[in-house]
Amino acid sequence: MYKTYGVAMKKGGQGKSTTVITMARLLALYGARVLVVDLAMPGTTSTSFRDCWPASEHGVFSELLAPFCQLSVDEIPHPDDTILAYDTQMLPVPLVSKPSWGGGLVSLLPFDDGLGNIARNMKSPLVLDGFLRSVDSAFDIMLIDCPSDDSILLDNALFAMDRMLIPFTPSAASLEGLDATLRLLRRFREGTARLTLGGVILTQVEPRNKRTSDLVNTLIHSGVVEGEPIKDRLFPFAIRASDYYDHAFRYGEPVWERTKEVRVWAGYVLMAEWLLLDAGLDHLCVNRRHAALVEPNTRVLDTNAVATGVGSGEALFRDIREMFAPGQME
């Protein structure tokens, strides 16, 4: 059973924060207890939860980590020390629960500018792992928004996560970012990290764009890259391009509050259910409600159909769900 998922990509503009934000909200709709860790400048993930921000005071993530900069390279914080630090800083921040969450919750370790100073002074790549392990029982799933640049904070994220999820926006520049991310994954996998690849999710996809089709086709036929069979690691569904994600960030609310067009976020619903199954939380999949309650006949982007460039590039929601969750429509 997996618990900690990092969303990582060695190139900006791939929908990394959008994936973390949307997934956290959807998982809460299913009743999951979610912890979001925001390590990515400029803190888009943290800002996007404005509609859930509590009135209570809290400390600062960088100050939570600061006392542990003195740990040597192979040291991990003691659980008693991390719990005391959490209590002192009043972290993580428990976001205000929405009625639609039905018992789910989202808590946040929010980004702050002081994390840059932490990255310059921290020695151990195991600090975050120690902090997350000490609150392991309080959450069902932990999502880490990873920094794109090489730093000790990225190393901390990699050592803390069980599974990596890679968002990929079809473009030539993104291919270089994907290669770099897979090299990084391989380096950590060959070391002592427990990290594995959960999958590559296509984001901001325009299905009738020939360049998009060509790039997705390139991915499917790229063979094994850095030890990963890319075709097998691509999720069968994709996230369609939509300005509504930008609107949602601007207003600090979920994308389904900006549009009623379910097709926009239906791919993320599929990803949320894949993650619940992957994490051994399949019992929560029956708790479909609100934005997660997608009609079986809803049209969703199909990765293989997008690659062919023929037709709309879509398939039925129920058919794609059956690829990874047999019987889940029953």
Question: What per-residue confidence (pLDDT) applies to 207?
Answer: 86
Instruction: Tell me phi and psi for residue 25, to 5 degrees.
Output: -65, -45
DSSP 29-76: HTT-EEEEEE-STT-HHHHTTGGG--SS----HHHHHGGGGGS-TT--
C-alpha–C-alpha distance, residues 251 and 260, integer Å: 16
Tell me the per-residue pLDDT of 20-38, one tens digit each, with 9 for 90 and over. 999 999 999 999 999 999 9
Q: So what's the pLDDT on residue 326?
A: 63
Position 96 scores a pLDDT of 96
Q: What percentage of the chain exceeds 70 in pLDDT?
A: 98
Question: CA torsion, points 157, 161, 165, 166, in degrees to nearest 10?
Answer: 30
Q: How much is the pLDDT for 242?
A: 95
Q: Supply the pLDDT for residue 59.
A: 95
Task: Compute the average pLDDT of residues 285-305.
Answer: 94
- pLDDT interval class at 328 (50, 70, 90): low
- Tell me the percentage of the chain whose pLDDT exceeds 90: 84
Other C-beta atoms within 10 Å of 24: how many? 27
What integer pLDDT is reported at residue 327 of this predicted model? 54
As a CATH number, domain 4-324 is 3.40.50.300
Confirm if 120 and 149 have CB atoms less than 8 A apart. Answer: no
Residue 194 has pLDDT above 90, yes or no: no
Residue 329 has pLDDT above 70, yes or no: no
Mean pLDDT of the chain: 93
Question: How is residue 209 written in tokens?
Answer: 């764009």
pTM of the predicted protein model: 0.95
Could you read off the pLDDT of 103-150 as tens digits, one per residue? Answer: 899 999 999 999 999 999 999 999 999 999 999 999 999 999 999 888
Please check whether residue 272 is in contact with residue 26, taking contact to mean a CB–CB distance below 8 angstroms. yes
141-145 and 4-7 strand pairing: parallel
Dihedral sign computed on CA atoms, order 275, 276, 282, 285:
negative
Mean pLDDT of 260-271: 96
Output the pLDDT for position 266: 97
Predicted confidence at residue 5, as pLDDT, reads 98
For 103-150, give the DSSP string: T-EEEEE---TTHHHHHHH---TTHHHHHHHHTGGG-SEEEEE--SS-
DSSP letter at 241? Answer: P
SS3 string of 181-236? Answer: HHHHHHHHHCCCCCCEEEEEEEEEECCCCHHHHHHHHHHHCCCEECCEEHHHHEEE
Give the per-residue pLDDT at 330: 41
Tens-digit pLDDT profile for residues 30-59: 999 999 999 999 999 999 999 999 998 999
Rounded to the nearest angstrom, the gap between the alpha carbon of residue 242 and the centroid of all alpha carbons in its chain is 18
